[in-house]
Amino acid sequence: MFADEIKNHLTENLIPFWKGLIDRDFGGYYGFSDFDHTVNEKYEKGCILNSRILWFFSSCAELTDDKDCIGYAGHAYDFLKSAYLDRKNGGVYWSVTYDGDPLDTTKHTYCQAFAIYALAAYYKVSADEESLGIANDLVKIIEQKCRDKYGYLEAFNVDFTPVSNEKLSENGVMAERTMNTLLHVYEAYTGLYEVTKSDYIADRLREMLTIFKDKMYNPEKHRQEVFFDRNYTPLLDLISYGHDIETAWLIDRGIEVLDDDELKAAYGDITCDLADNILHNAFDGNSLAQECEAGVVNEDRVWWVQAEAVNGFINEYLKDPSKTEYKDAAVAQWEYIKKNFIYKEGGEWYNQLDKSGKPYGNMPVVGPWKCPYHNGRMCLEVKRRGIEF
């Protein structure tokens, strides 16, 4: 069965794999393992990777029977506190050395958001008030240092002087605002609201929903725009398939946590439209390509895009079980993942495949962006939602 296979993949493959990356000598988790599973123990340790590992083990501690996961989460939490937190200027660094010294001291809004997301998940299972306090301090940083009155900005140096946004700009543009950063601030605040029920955080979530609807959603093209100048002018004719299907279910999830029927009614058509466009115009019956720029599709298959397709298709099916095409798509996508993405000997997923399904041998199995977040979350969402088919 679909659900049983995914739950077993989590407990038998993904959790053991990431436990094996723990660095008991210098803290945190190793920052790099190549295509052949050779770990570089001296590689830098990215804060996004460590935060996603903290989120993963915290969520596994909540939703699985593996009682050891709380200890692995605590190990990531201790390293976040000791290595990434800038005690002088506030916020978290982009990366540190393997032994925990600041390396890339960029303060990126996206990076602050993932730390909040992870800390909220850790607090949920640990009841550690210090972790909640750090999360709330990072919210203050984002709201006071990383935005203007129109929304969230991107990249800053160590003391929060704005710098150019190379880290989250792609395809030849330099974006002052991105859909990706807004999405993950929204996601982080959703997790924090779930454990605090803060009116302030609820107001910020509603503000972000307005930005999605009024500035980023393109109803004529049934997509979100991706990269923007400061005035929210789109910089590129681009549809990011993975981000659109991910946004569809994450917006719904945030509204579910807010428990707001008016928001559900106001945004339901938007999230359905995004998912419908992906299912009928991007999904090939088995998998999703990477993206489409100026009408030209990048046919590579990327690991995280496939995982978010499963999440998004399940979400749409559960909203309306008469739409069995979404259930069928989720099952078909999982079959593609099983056949093509999962390392037979190691339990993790290949990073990226070409159109024929051949993996790129120069891409890591673990890296600053290659983590247990998307595929781990796919498995955890199947458990959280009580999927039985």
Q: 203-240, pLDDT tens digit by residue?
A: 999 999 999 999 999 999 999 999 999 999 999 999 99
Average pLDDT (150-164) is 98
pLDDT at residue 346 is higher than 80: no
pTM of the predicted model, to two decimals? 0.98
3-class secondary structure per residue, the chain:
CHHHHHHHHHHHHHHHHHHCCECCCCCCECCCECCCCCECCCCCEEHHHHHHHHHHHHHHHHHCCCCCHHHHHHHHHHHHHHHHECCCCCCECCEECCCCCEEECCEEHHHHHHHHHHHHHHHHHHCCHHHHHHHHHHHHHHHHHCEECCEECCEECCCCCECCCHHHCCCCCCCCEEHHHHHHHHHHHHHHHHHHCCHHHHHHHHHHHHHHHHHHEECCCCEECCEECCCCCECCCEEEHHHHHHHHHHHHHHHHHHCCHHHHHHHHHHHHHHHHHHHHHCECCCCECCEEECCEEECCEEHHHHHHHHHHHHHHHHHCCCCHHHHHHHHHHHHHHHHHCECCCCCCECCEECCCCCECCCCCCECCCCCCCHHHHHHHHHHHCCCCC
Q: What's the whole-number average pLDDT of the chain?
A: 97
pLDDT score of 347: 86
pLDDT score of 344: 84
Q: Can you list the domains of the chain with their CATH numbers?
A: 2-384 (1.50.10.10)
- At 309-343, the pLDDT tens digits run 999 999 999 999 999 999 999 999 999 999 999 99
- At 76-93, the pLDDT tens digits run 999 999 999 999 999 999
